[in-house]
Structure 1
Amino acid sequence: MIKVQEEHCHAVVDYDLINKRIRVLDYEGKAAALADILIKTGKERGMEKIIIFAKTYDQKDLLQKLFLQEGEIDGYYNGYRALLMTYYLDQTRKTTNSWERQDHLLQTILNQSKKPIRDHGFSFQIREAKAEDSEMLTDLYKKVFPIYPAPITDRAYIEKTITGGSVYYTCFSGDTLISAAAAEINTKLGHAEITDCATLTEFAGHSILTRLIIELEKKVKQMGIFHVFSLARAESIGMNKTLCRQSYSYGGRLINNCVIFNGLENMNIWQKKLFD
């Protein structure tokens, strides 16, 4: 992350070279001025897409800069909504052939009843991860994800995220790590992202990630965080179903958002308030 400080705006910016995108995760000042800077910088650096987590009152100004809204996250800015406004520096990045099929998958998931998980027969052990678990976590992620938008197969990276405030919950079968999920916490903005969710294929069908997400939600609530969101591969029936059944609401779809699993993929946005 880089802090950009210009005359009319300050921003926290992720120049993501792996995914050829620029993400603005927080900002103050004139969004239109920020957009001009990002478009110029993005062209110079060979980026393909810009994503601004925009404040609702900046939508009109960004539309005038030809940004499009691809989604929204309730509570992102200390209880206030963020609009995910995007701009394509490479128009081919805007093209997707899977939208209609993914709409069909999503509609099927949204139409399904929310079944409670069953405790009967669950024989695995769940606990919060520690920094010394980083090697096991990287080994798990290597087995599950051929490619991923963040360096989660790097032990040093995992250690840094844990010591830096992210929370991981893990699930074991005996001494074998079989599943993990994380909450990336932003105390300044009052939200957490549920991310880095993985389960070994042979242990699918036990609602393990559902249980891990429940534990993460409990943890972040204890820390005073009451808004969470998650991005799920639009092609992943299991992950989208898990979030939907846990009362996350659909918030849109980011086109060709990042390189994950097999290549550039669309990502569904899910969001949840951790209070009634």
Structure 2
Amino acid sequence: MQTYEATPLLPNDKQHKLLAMEIQTQHLCDNTLHHIENTANQNHNTKVLLQVKESNSLALMSNGYQIEATIPKLYSNEDAIFAAKYLDNKRKVEKNSDLYDEILEHVISNTDNFETTKHNTSMARLANRSDARGIAKLFANDDTLYSHWQEDEPKIKASMQGEHEYVVIDYLDNIVAAVNIKHDANTKSCFLQDLSVASFVQNQGMATTLIDFVLHRLLRTEVETIHCQCIADDYAMNKVLARHEFNFGGRLTNQVIVQDQLHSVNMWSKKLSKDR
């Protein structure tokens, strides 16, 4: 069997009955894909999602995978593709597809007439290790997040020493909004995940402020691409990304399980323009 290097895309696949990996191998062979599928079956997963270079798409499709989303030019001149294989036909059935389509159409069509408003990014700041407990508390109370390992304070602290950083907003000595940024030096990209706003300060531009701060910060780095996934029926978050000129890259069908319900996830990405 071909050896391959893989990185988990979600830290809690068991919760979602999902095997999700980025495969760095240049050329995928059938034996490797069979091994991945066997591993998924052994773990009682009902979906496999692989992030690979576009050049591997033919091998995936000939093995029963279907392309669900893309990130343009993530790998230098090659697109990243997200290809899925369903090991249980029931997981293919997207019950809320009409709602997802309606929300997406609405947020994109309304972006055309949107005038960008500058928010006060001084409200936001880069978090440090002493903030881990406050971040964990915020995440634990947010049902819209789908990587709930972040409720764990020690894991948040540990991630800060690696490739993750967090941006937060404080109110009355409490962290009321936060986003987790995962850096990938190999692709000069960042993955925005776990953007959370406390319920009592929602609809006050907190998410927009976080994204503004992150974009402003990343423009001063070597990062070239920023991408994000959000639950397809989260109207507010999809709207924020569309208004920040993120491009819709597809929908990951029934990707995650939140409160015992399957939810699809929208893929958004943005190339950073650096006039420096």
The 5-angstrom pairing of residues 37-48 of structure 1 reads 37-48=35-46
User: Which residue of structure 1 lines up, in the alignment, with residue 5 of structure 2?
Assistant: 11
Query: Deviations along 1:21-66, whole A, 9 cap, x unmatched?
Result: 1122132143233212111221122111111112111111211101
Instruction: Tell me the amino acid that sits aligned with residue 41 of structure 2.
Output: K
CA distance in 2, matches of 1:78, 1:123: 31
RMSD: 2.0
**Are the equivalent residues in 1 in contact too, given 2:46–2:87 (CA < 8 A)?**
yes
CA distance in 2, matches of 1:165, 1:146: 23
User: Which residue of structure 2 lines up, in the alignment, with residue 200 of structure 1?
Assistant: 198
Query: Is the alpha carbon distance of 1:186 and 1:26 closer, same or farther for their aligned partners in structure 2, counting shifts above 3 Å?
Result: farther
SS for the counterpart of 2:45 is coil
Query: Is the alpha carbon distance of 1:147 and 1:172 closer, same or farther for their aligned partners in structure 2, counting shifts above 3 Å?
Result: closer
Number of equivalences: 268
- 1:108 correspondence with 2:106: yes
User: Which residue of structure 1 lines up, in the alignment, with residue 140 of structure 2?
Assistant: 142
Aligned-pair distance for 1:199? 0.5
CA distance in 2, matches of 1:54, 1:237: 28
Instruction: Tell me the amino acid that sits aligned with residue 255 of structure 1.
Output: T
SS for the counterpart of 1:114 is coil
- 1:153 correspondence with 2:151: yes
Instruction: Tell me the amino acid that sits aligned with residue 196 of structure 1.
Output: D
Aligned-pair distance for 1:246? 0.3
CA distance in 2, matches of 1:148, 1:263: 11
Aligned-pair distance for 1:242? 0.3
**Are the equivalent residues in 1 in contact too, given 2:140–2:148 (CA < 8 A)?**
no
SS for the counterpart of 2:94 is coil
**Are the equivalent residues in 1 in contact too, given 2:144–2:231 (CA < 8 A)?**
no
The 5-angstrom pairing of residues 162-181 of structure 1 reads 162-181=160-179
**Are the equivalent residues in 1 in contact too, given 2:225–2:272 (CA < 8 A)?**
yes
**Are the equivalent residues in 2 in contact too, given 1:138–1:152 (CA < 8 A)?**
yes
Instruction: Tell me the amino acid that sits aligned with residue 27 of structure 2.
Output: K
Aligned-pair distance for 1:175? 1.2
**Are the equivalent residues in 2 in contact too, given 1:10–1:29 (CA < 8 A)?**
no
SS for the counterpart of 2:105 is helix
Structure 2 segments unaligned to the other structure (5+ residues): none
SS for the counterpart of 2:37 is helix
**Are the equivalent residues in 2 in contact too, given 1:32–1:65 (CA < 8 A)?**
no
User: Which residue of structure 1 lines up, in the alignment, with residue 64 of structure 2?
Assistant: 66
User: Which residue of structure 2 lines up, in the alignment, with residue 258 of structure 1?
Assistant: 256
CA distance in 2, matches of 1:275, 1:146: 30
TM-score computed with the length of structure 1 as normaliser: 0.90
TM-score computed with the length of structure 2 as normaliser: 0.90
User: Which residue of structure 1 lines up, in the alignment, with residue 225 of structure 2?
Assistant: 227
Aligned-pair distance for 1:249? 0.6
CA distance in 1, matches of 2:259, 2:194: 12
User: Which residue of structure 2 lines up, in the alignment, with residue 272 of structure 1?
Assistant: 270
Instruction: Tell me the amino acid that sits aligned with residue 4 of structure 2.
Output: H
Equivalent position to 1:240, from 238, 241, 254? 238
- 1:249 correspondence with 2:247: yes
Aligned-pair distance for 1:164? 1.1
Query: Is the alpha carbon distance of 1:124 and 1:57 closer, same or farther for their aligned partners in structure 2, counting shifts above 3 Å?
Result: closer
Instruction: Tell me the amino acid that sits aligned with residue 12 of structure 1.
Output: A
CA distance in 1, matches of 2:42, 2:260: 28
